[in-house]
């Protein structure tokens, strides 16, 4: 087993929405960040994004030594990877581009440096074929935005070593994340598949005119979403069963639940449905700025995270 080095310098490859959020979080944890992105204007956009995220990170609590001054940006990928002890890749979600990028990342690093990908749906078994040392390649998929949401899905490919998985889990946990290690590679991983199932039915309900978009959003935000923010679906089902727990719940509601599953829709994103949803969200959020909504959302999430951290019984 390769011992985890003391990680002080992280390479951030790709500084779009996800990469910039990661960079801000790493800086807030007191780490040095060496970033790179080939897009024109990437350096300036990264600095702006980190400055925008920093007040939220200050509220959540900065680690000793945290500073935006520990960020460096490099035009060259190879220069950005010099001396890094961990790499968080957040490049385009295309397998051809991802493989080409991983070939270069792998060639620039010592064998013991982990390479984690933020990919939302690609499998590491398909990506790591581009590497000399595929055993150190892992999925490190965050939940957006990474600087705020604790979840990270850590999954290996067919050639990833158990040691690399453990080292990645240890690193993310050490910087305050909530890593999970799903047992199988599967398109979209776990969290994205779960929310995709909800999105599918939400789009279906709109397509058949069952409810307005604002009513559908309210049904989640002021209903099950409040419980889901505290515990996951299985723990909530168990509590819904009262003293009999999950066994009682399934005995009495198992049949109805199956009938709801059978009636769920399979919508297609037709031009008509796309426009209906675009118009609907415009009407629902009319007069409310996206930045204002996001700031209030982030503040409420921080409050929820503080309550969860103080709980003694919630899993």
Tens-place pLDDT, residues 29-42: 999 999 999 999 99
Read off the DSSP letter of residue 2.
P
What is the dihedral sign for C-alpha 298, 303, 306, 310?
negative
What number of residues does the chain have?
Answer: 315
Quote the Cα angle for 262-279-203, to 5°: 10
Q: Among candidates 39, 302, 315, 254, which has minimal Cα distance to 150?
A: 302
Domains and CATH numbers, the chain: 9-180 (3.40.50.720), 191-310 (1.10.1040.10)
Give the pLDDT of residue 1: 52
Are 46 and 23 in contact, with CB atoms under 8 Å apart?
yes
Q: Which helix (H) or strand (E) holds 34?
A: strand 32-36
Using DSSP, state whether 137 is helix, strand or coil. Answer: strand
Q: Is the pTM of this model over 0.95?
A: no
The answer to whether residue 5 scores a pLDDT higher than 80 is no
């Amino acid at each position: 087993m390769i011992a985890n080095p003391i990680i002080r310098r992280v390479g951030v490859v790709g500084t779009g929405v996800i990469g910039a959020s990661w960079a801000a979080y790493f800086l807030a944890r007191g780490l040095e960040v060496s970033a790179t992105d080939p897009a024109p204007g990437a350096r300036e956009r990264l600095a702006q994004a980190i400055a925008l995220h920093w007040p939220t990170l200050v509220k959540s609590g900065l680690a000793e030594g945290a500073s935006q001054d520990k960020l460096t940006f490099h035009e060259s990928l190879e220069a950005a990877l010099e001396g890094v002890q961990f790499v968080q890749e957040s490049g385009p979600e295309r397998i051809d581009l991802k493989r080409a990028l991983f070939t270069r990342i792998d060639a620039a690093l010592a064998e013991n440096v982990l390479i984690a990908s933020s990919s939302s749906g690609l499998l590491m078994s398909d990506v790591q074929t581009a590497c000399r040392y595929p055993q150190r390649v892992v999925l490190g998929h965050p939940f957006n935005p990474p600087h705020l949401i604790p979840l990270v899905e850590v999954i290996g490919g067919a050639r990833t070593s158990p040691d690399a998985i453990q080292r990645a889990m240890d690193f993310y946990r050490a910087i305050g994340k909530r890593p999970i290690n799903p047992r199988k590679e599967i398109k979209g991983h776990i969290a994205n598949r779960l929310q995709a199932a909800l999105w599918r039915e939400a789009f279906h309900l709109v397509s058949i005119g069952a409810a307005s978009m604002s009513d559908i959003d309210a049904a989640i935000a002021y209903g099950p979403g409040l419980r889901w923010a505290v515990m996951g679906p299985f723990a909530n089902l168990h509590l819904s069963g009262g003293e009999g727990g999950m066994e009682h719940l399934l005995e009495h509601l198992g049949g109805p639940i199956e009938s709801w599953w059978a009636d769920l829709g399979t919508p297609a994103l037709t031009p008509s449905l796309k426009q209906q949803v675009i118009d609907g969200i415009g009407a629902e959020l009319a007069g409310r700025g996206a930045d204002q909504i996001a700031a209030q959302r982030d503040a409420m999430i921080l409050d929820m995270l503080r309550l969860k951290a103080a709980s003694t019984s919630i899993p």
